[in-house]
Amino acid sequence: MPAVYLQNVIFSYERNAPLLQIDELLIDEGERVFLYGPSGSGKTTLLGLVAGVLHANKGEVRVLGKDLTRLSSSARDRHRGAEMGYIFQSFNLIPYLSVRENIALSCHVHAKRMKRITASTLDGEILRIASRLDLDGFLNKPVTKLSTGQQQRVAIARAVIGAPRLVIADEPTSSLDRDRQESFLRLLIEVCNEARSTLIFVSHDSSLMSRFERHISVSEINQVVSC
C-alpha cells in the first residue's frame, strides 16, 4: 500500500496561478525519501498538501489510505495528528511545556497514538524514546533551557512517539552544525525504522542524500515552471 499517492494534483491560492501541479507521485510505505529542490520549487506546498494543512484544488491526495481531498479540514487535522509526525527546521516545541509534556502531547490528543505505544505506560514510553535519543537527563526541564541540538532531538521524540505511519521532517538539520547533522540524521533514520514509519526528509543539502534510498526532486515533478 502506498503511504503517499498524488495524482493530477493542482494547487493554487489564486485562480489561474497554480503553484504546484503534480501528475503522479507515489511513495511506498516504509520508504525513506529525500525530497529536495531550490526554494520556490514547491517543497513547502507539497508538504502542506501531504500533511493536510493545504487543500488541493484538483486531483487526488491519498495519504495513508485516506483521500485528503474528500476529508473535512478537521478530519484532515485528526488524520495528521494521529498518523503523522512532523519535525520543523527549528522551534519545534511548545515553550511553556517541559520536555516530557512536549513529547507526551500528541498521545494526549490522539487516542490512536496512545494505543500504539510499546511500553506499558505513557511515561515508560517517553522514557524509552528519551533514552534512545539520549535525552533522559532533560525530561523535566523546560524546553527553553535546551540547546538547539537537544531541542531537535526532543522534536524527533515528539514526532515518533506512538509510532506514526509517516514522519515528515522539513529541513530539520539546517539549524545544526555539520557534526550534529550526521548524528541527528542517523538517529532519525534509526527510530523511524524501529517504528516502521515512512520518512519524508526535506533538505536543500545534497550531502545528506546518500543516506536515503530514494531521491525526489520537487522541481522535476512539479509541472509548474517557476521563474
Least distance (Å) between residue 155 CB and other proteins: 9
Cell of 119: 511500553
Among 12, 30, 31, 53, binds other proteins (CB under 8 A): 53
Site for other proteins in 144-173 (CB under 8 A): 158, 170
- The strands making up 20-28's β-sheet, listed across from edge to edge, are 20-28, 2-11, 58-63, 66-67
Polymer length of the chain: 227
Among 12, 77, 127, 219, binds other proteins (CB under 8 A): 77
Q: Are 167 and 87 in contact (CB under 8 A)?
A: yes
Q: State the Cα–Cα distance between residues 113 and 155, nearest whole angstrom.
A: 16
Rg (CA), the chain: 17
Q: What is the DSSP letter of 29?
A: T
Q: In angstroms, give the least distance from the CB of 110 to other proteins.
A: 6
Q: Which is nearer to other proteins, 24 or 123 (CB)?
A: 123
Stretch that binds other proteins, among 17-25, 77-85, 146-154, 212-220 (CB under 8 A): 77-85
Q: How far is CA 8 from CA 48, 56, 57, 64, in A?
A: 16, 10, 10, 18
Distance CA 98, CA 34 (A): 31
Please give the residues from 86 up to 145 whose contact with other proteins meets the rule CB under 8 A: 86, 88-89, 91-97, 101, 105-106, 108-110
Residue 9 CA: distances (Å) to CA of 39, 135, 221, 222: 20, 41, 11, 10
Q: Mark 57-76 with x for binding to other proteins (rule: CB under 8 A) and - for no binding.
A: ----------------xx--
Report the nearest approach of other proteins to the CB of residue 47 (Å).
Answer: 7
What's the CA gap between 156 and 187, in Å, rounded? 9
Q: In this complex, which beta carbon is closest to other proteins, that of residue 21 or of residue 45?
A: 45
Site for other proteins in 25-44 (CB under 8 A): 44
- 18, 37, 59, 81: which one contacts other proteins (CB under 8 A)? 81
210 in contact with other proteins (CB under 8 A): no
Please report, as ranges, the residues that interact with other proteins according to CB under 8 A.
44, 47-48, 51, 53-54, 73-74, 77-82, 86, 88-89, 91-97, 101, 105-106, 108-110, 158, 170
